[in-house]
Amino acid sequence: MRLDLELDRVGEWVRRGGYRRVLIQSPLGLRHAALRVAEALEQMNVEAILSGGSCWGGCDVAYREAEALDADAIIHIGHPRFLGRDRRPTYYLECRYLDPEPLLKVAEKAAEIMDGGGVVGVGATAQWLNHLSRVIRLLRERGVEAVAGGVGGVIRHEGQVLGCAYNGLLELEERVSAYLVLGSIFHGLGLALLTRKPVYGADPFTQRVEELGAHAERVLAQRYAMIEGFRRAERIGVVVSLKPGQLRRGLASRLKGMVEEWGRKADIVVLDEVSEQALADLPHQAFINTACQRLSIEDQQRLGKPLLLPSEALVAMGRLRWESVIRTPRYFSMEV
């Protein structure tokens, strides 16, 4: 799939800022794009440095690397802006897809499956947003009354969804009878955990469309098993991430206090990468996750020890009822 690398706009941004050393950060699947950007900068006599570290989202900007290397600026590839302000000048190169055909084809399939029946809230991952208006027109022509999600919070573009944030779509909750998330089943599942309305996930690459209610229920059953495991733990670690958009020290302190009031030992544990090995090496039997919500959903089986969301930890400690949290926006909340 061809991507819009915005090379002219990137070059103008670098020239206007007078940057002479630029750190280029990209997720694993877009390292080829980082190379092309680096080549373009080198032609401008700008020193381009490639980050080989992780890049999980707009919450994970490589400020510490840039500061260590004394880079003037960062080009962050593959994600929209997440943070309110930057510690170093940062260009968010979203790499939007140029060809709309895979998206339009999967939207046709989704229209057949949904077959009308009320208003549908539609969102997409950032790479497909250039074509979202065409998808909405197509759906309406096929008898599906579609409306895009709005902006708000960390959602910067109309119709945008993140794996951890669906603010724009959830604001439509009273208006819609169902949701359609375009881009990946992964993103659709996140929304299905936060609403009781039907959610359809559509993947333009595999041309797969799936109603995700049953999938969400299976995940929630697995999550409740983790809650039961958490209740048996004697020592609990409250995980704090160093990633700039995930650093929640106040939340971690409040949760540590709640665990101790509950009668268990608790420690705040600082990690950059929450990995199987990192958790296995710690003496805690269970953890609370104040970093990225999707770690608890997507990576739990790999991580082994229970890694509960804050809302799940409150359920485990008897402060909330499970039924009042699941399939509601509160489930992913990073507030207590």
Note the pLDDT of residue 105.
98
Count: domains in the chain:
3
Residues 253 and 173 in one domain: no
Out of 41, 70, 96, pick the residue that ends a domain: 96
Give the C-alpha distances (Å, rounded to integers) separating 198 from 119, 140, 192, 299.
12, 19, 7, 24
> Residue 253 is part of which domain span?
221-332
Residues 246 and 308 in one domain: yes
Nearest-10 crossing angle of helices 101-114, 132-141: 40
Note the pLDDT of residue 64.
96
Note the pLDDT of residue 1.
83
Note the pLDDT of residue 317.
98
| 216, part of any domain | no
User: For residue 42, which of 24, 29, 69 has the smallest C-alpha distance?
Assistant: 24
Out of 77, 96, 115, pick the residue that ends a domain: 96
**Contact between residue 105 and residue 134 where contact means Cβ atoms under 8 Å apart:** no
Note the pLDDT of residue 115.
80
- The single-letter DSSP state of residue 51 is -
Residues 234 and 325 in one domain: yes
Beta strand extents in the chain (DSSP E only): 3-4, 21-25, 47-50, 73-77, 90-93, 96-97, 119-124, 145-148, 178-182, 199-203, 208-211, 235-241, 265-271, 286-289, 307-308
Out of 96, 111, 136, pick the residue that ends a domain: 96
Q: CATH number of the domain at 327, please.
A: 3.40.50.11860
Q: Which residues, including other chains, have CB under 8 Å from residue 283's CB and lie 6 or more apart?
A: 235
CA distance 24 to 74: 6
Residues 105 and 91 in one domain: no
Note the pLDDT of residue 264.
98
Note the pLDDT of residue 130.
97
List the chain pLDDT tens, one digit each, 336 residues: 899 999 999 999 999 999 999 999 999 999 999 999 999 999 999 999 999 999 999 999 999 999 999 999 999 999 999 999 999 999 999 999 999 999 999 999 999 999 877 899 999 999 999 999 999 999 999 999 999 999 989 999 999 999 999 999 999 999 999 999 999 999 999 999 999 999 999 999 999 999 999 999 999 999 999 999 999 999 999 999 999 999 999 999 999 999 999 999 999 999 999 999 999 999 999 999 999 999 999 999 899 899 999 999 999 999 999 999 999 999 999 999
Q: CATH number of the domain at 154, please.
A: 3.40.50.11850
